[in-house]
Chain A
Amino acid sequence: MSVGRDEVQRIAALARIRLDDDAADRLDAELTGILAHVDTLMEVDVSEAEEGLVLPPPFHGPDAPPVPDSGSVFRQVELEADALASGAPGDRAPEWSEGFFLVPRLPAVDGTREGGA
């Protein structure tokens, strides 16, 4: 199937990526080529296949690993010293305070430019 420039732009907006018209046209051609290949999946008889695997294959069916001895996959949470609270992040962030990174304030939704942390 052909995707079309408008559809590429709609998908790009969903993905929060901006495309100029040249980039959209190029992606349209590439996606159309890729989807022609992907469309071979339509020939497969999937009536015998399980729907919506929650976990990848080795985690269900005959190959699944054993349930832990405790009989539960849940574990006790052991609280540890917070890496950022106990040690200075140093060059890992420009600013930090009380275990939190400080980041610039997001511009307001109405478009007003705001500065500072």
Chain B
Amino acid sequence: MRAASALETARRVRAGEIPADRPLEEALARAREADAGPRGIHAFLSLSDSGANSHPEPASGPPPNSDSRDAREPGSAADDGDPDLTLAGVPVAVKDNLCTLELPTTCASRFLEGYRSPYEATVVRRLRARGGRVVGKTNLDEFGMGSSTENSAFGPTRNPRDPSRVPGGSSGGSAAAVAAGVVPCALGSDTGGSVRQPAALCGVVGVKPTYGRVSRYGLVAFASSLDQVGTFGASVADAALLLEAISGHDPRDSTSAPLPAPDLMGHLDDGVAGKVVGIPVEYVPDSLDPEIRARMDEASRHLAEAGAEIRRVSLPHTRYAVPTYYVLATAEASSNLARYDGVRFGVRSPEARATQEVYEASRTRGFGPEVVRRIILGTFGLSAGYHDQYYGRAQRVRALIARDFRRVWADGVDVLLTPTSPTPAFPLGERSDDPVSMYLSDIFTVTANLAGIPAVSVPAGTTHGLPCGAQLLAPAWHEAPLLAAARTLEQSLGGGA
């Protein structure tokens, strides 16, 4: 049996119709079944004990990061019907690069195998404050570096729609957990498409909010000017419900915007009547798979029937987005991952005889091949003699990509419609030896990260028998109209709760 929707689960728990712990216990049973055996999807790296997070405070004293919205026990007499418990009893899967107290945080890396964080990510704390329950930690490409979840040190995740294929990445475990019906919603992180692309490939909803909308305190850093926590849902409503619960200013993250959490649920049914939907010509090139083009044509027709004006627009610097992204993201990663040195984190190599050897032996042993590739590329782009040519230039092109979007919004466009991924889910192993081909999986998603704007992937039918995603993008801080458009599309395609 698949998970009930988050909205329905929370309503029933608040009303006292079911015990608050039951949805978590049922989700844990589904997770074990989905991951079991050699053909299991391997969505989870660790699972909670069924009672583990019913006591939100650590047993040993006060929490290190007490939030004004402290975790509470749903279902008790005092909380019966508490409207603040928007996630009462809702089982949520959490990507394993978000720090949790009860479960290890590995980032799917040998370097952090068994690492237990002494503090909890703000997003995890907030979802528990709303009554949500952490089911377990989900698989990812090591440190978020990949588009297929094949770069996990603990083995790949399989796509629930076709287990011979990848679920996308890097948040492939979270996407697969939702697609398999284990949980109604999940947390991921999106640096270049790592929530939206796996959502598209697995046939679920994935949202990347505006840079600064959601706290990154407790998110293990990959590329700090691009990383943002995002949500998955079996429906737009479930992804929005979780996003609303985790949004808002956090003084512990200096890049968190001093804005209140947006009212997303109250605007979900606002529709698109009178809105202008732009279709950027650069995202529907002649080379685009004809089946994906057909799904995009259907999506734009549905939005037009719902009252939107469809307009063709241009974002002329789009073709430079992937190279810009890979220069900047790897440069930031090479700096962020310097902390993994065998002293502050990770298993220290016993063979090392000098300080320098400790660093080199530990890093050489601890990192997988894609992480090494990106650290080397990032170090190269920042090194003397190449800095201006690569990093400096990529920063300037990034500014032009952001300006392209600002000009389109200034011309009156409310939302942009594009494909999420240039291909459906590909077979396991197909792109493992071809980094450029793998990097081009992100061609339609990296621009939102470079410009810092919100974007969502919504299921838009199938291509070649596999799920296909439509991406919607909006101006910074406009998550509410973005998700209203996503909801319109979802309903016109017969989906959603």
Residues of B within 8 A of A37 (CB): 322-323, 326, 436, 439
A88 to B59, CA, bound (A): 10
Interface size on B, residues (CB 8 A): 79
> Which A residues from 65 to 111 make CB contacts under 8 A with B?
65-68, 73, 75, 80-84, 86-92, 103-104, 106-111
Contact A27 B400 (CB under 8 A): no
Q: Whole-angstrom distance from the CB of B120 to the nearest CB of chain A? A: 10
Q: A27-B376, A58-B477 are in contact. Are A103 and B116 (CB under 8 A)?
A: no
Q: Whole-angstrom distance from the CB of B396 to the nearest CB of chain A? A: 4
Contact residues of B: prevailing secondary structure: helix
Contact B360 A18 (CB under 8 A): yes
Contact B476 A84 (CB under 8 A): no
CB < 8 Å neighbour of B320 from A33, A44, A50, A113: A44
Q: Whole-angstrom distance from the CB of B395 to the nearest CB of chain A? A: 6
Residues of B within 8 A of A53 (CB): 225, 395, 398-399
Q: Whole-angstrom distance from the CB of A78 to the nearest CB of chain B? A: 9
Q: In this assembly, does A22 line the interface, its C-beta being within 8 Å of a C-beta of chain B?
A: no
Q: In this assembly, does B71 line the interface, its C-beta being within 8 Å of a C-beta of chain A?
A: no
Q: How large is the interface on A (under 10, 10 to 19, 20 to 34, 35 or more residues)?
A: 35 or more
A53 to B398, CA, bound (A): 9
Q: Which of B9-17, B90-98, B346-354, B480-488 contacts A (4 or more CB under 8 A)?
A: B346-354
Contact B353 A111 (CB under 8 A): yes
A83 to B117, CA, bound (A): 11
- A residues neighboring B (CB under 8 Å): 3, 8, 11-12, 14-19, 27, 30-31, 33-34, 37-42, 44, 46, 48-53, 55-59, 61-63, 65-68, 73, 75, 80-84, 86-92, 103-104, 106-113
- B residues neighboring A (CB under 8 Å): 58, 60-66, 116-119, 210-212, 225-226, 251, 255, 257-259, 317, 319-320, 322-324, 326-327, 334, 338, 341, 343, 348, 352-361, 363-364, 367, 372-373, 375-377, 379-380, 383, 390, 392-400, 402-403, 406, 435-436, 439, 450-453, 475-477
8 pairs of residues in contact across A and B, judged by CB atoms under 8 Å = A34-B326, A37-B436, A40-B320, A49-B399, A55-B225, A57-B476, A73-B258, A112-B353
Q: Which 5 A-B pairs have the closest CB atoms?
A: A83-B64, A87-B60, A87-B61, A49-B396, A58-B452
